[in-house]
Copies of this chain bind each other. A is one copy, B any other.
Amino acid sequence: MPVKLAENEYGKSRVRLVKVERHGSRHELQDLSFDIQLSGDFTAAYAEGKNELVLPTDTMKNTVYALARQQPLGEIEEFGERLTGHFLSRNPQVERVRVAISQNSWARIKAGTREHDYAFVRAGEERRTSVVEQARSGQPGPAVRSGIADLAVLKTSRSAFQGFLRDEYTTLEDTPDRLLSTAVTAEWTCAPGVRRYGEMWRAARQTILEVFANHDSRGVQHTLYAIGSAVLERVPEIARIELALPNRHCYRVDLAPFGLDNPNEVFAPADEPYGLIRAVLARS
């Protein structure tokens, strides 16, 4: 039976790297995880088991380590570009390379106001992320996205959800005041030629936090839009931002059976089910 290979990609995932850069007694720490995917004309490997053009995924892992040694990593976006360029320039059989990098957060241990030179404490489960994609033909440079994953935030005031559509299966009641708990995942597309990735990331993160905190939310969609517009406004290099906000419901517990009121004090958080709101905002 005639079968065709309509799409294909392969690579190595969860390649983990800790890189230490030493400036005298002061050490810089980077804790990263890589997913690398190549695509191209690999029909012979699939259809016939001929591996002549297959760069082993083990080699991709080694490449991460070898390139990490050879010069300072720089921002994760920059290291992603080095990797996509490396694989594309050496492998004519490859048409497209995608490298996704996720960076764990560490802060220096403090004693009083003094920051330690080489000792760190994990600073939350949030991660800085980047995806670099480069095709052999097409755009002149790689497409670079930057982002943040799982930035968990919660506010105990200024969040409502009311006036929504009701149908025969609606039991939810209007609430002028609820808890809003989410974990922001954002990914933005940088205009070509951008080079201040770290600064942009810090500005975007701080904007997300401040707008989440100060916005008068009428719903998760409303919050998401406020966050996205503010990031576009404050960081001019960002052309487009995708946001995903799970609604991590905190249910107000009904204490009436026990003769008690509950003026928004006692909540039962639940992991599932959860609302999930996703949107892309762009400059118009």
Contacts and interface: CB of A to CB of B under 8 A. Distances in A.
Interface of A: 1-22, 25, 27, 29, 31, 35, 37, 42, 45-59, 61-63, 65-66, 68-70, 90-91, 106, 109-111, 116-126, 151-158, 161-172, 179, 183, 206, 209-210, 212-214, 217-222, 224-225, 228-229, 232-233, 240, 242, 246-247, 250, 253, 255, 257-258, 260, 262, 264-284
Contact of A222 (B14, B49, B124): B49
A151 B120 CA distance: 11
Contacts of A209: 109-111, 119, 121
A77 to B, nearest CB: 20
Nearest to A65: B253
A10 B276 contact: yes
A119 B66 contact: no
B152 A10 contact: no
A280 B257 CA distance: 36
Contacts of A246: 13
Contact of A46 (B2, B6, B35, B279): B279
B278 A8 contact: yes
A136 to B, nearest CB: 17
Given A4-B284, A246-B13, A268 B65 contact: yes
A116 B3 contact: no
Contact of A19 (B31, B123, B158, B266): B266
Contact of A265 (B1, B21, B168, B240): B21
| Residue with the greatest number of chain B CB neighbours at <10 A, chosen from A11, A25, A62 | A62
B10 A157 contact: no
Protomer copies: 4
A258 to B, nearest CB: 5
6 contacts: A11-B276, A13-B246, A17-B266, A29-B154, A54-B165, A122-B153
Contacts of A118: 155-158, 213
A191 to B, nearest CB: 15
A154 B268 contact: no
B269 A18 contact: yes
Contacts of A247: 57
Nearest to A117: B157
| Residue with the greatest number of chain B CB neighbours at <10 A, chosen from A106, A110, A165, A278 | A165
Nearest to A284: B4
A283 B229 contact: no
Contacts of A121: 124, 151-153, 209
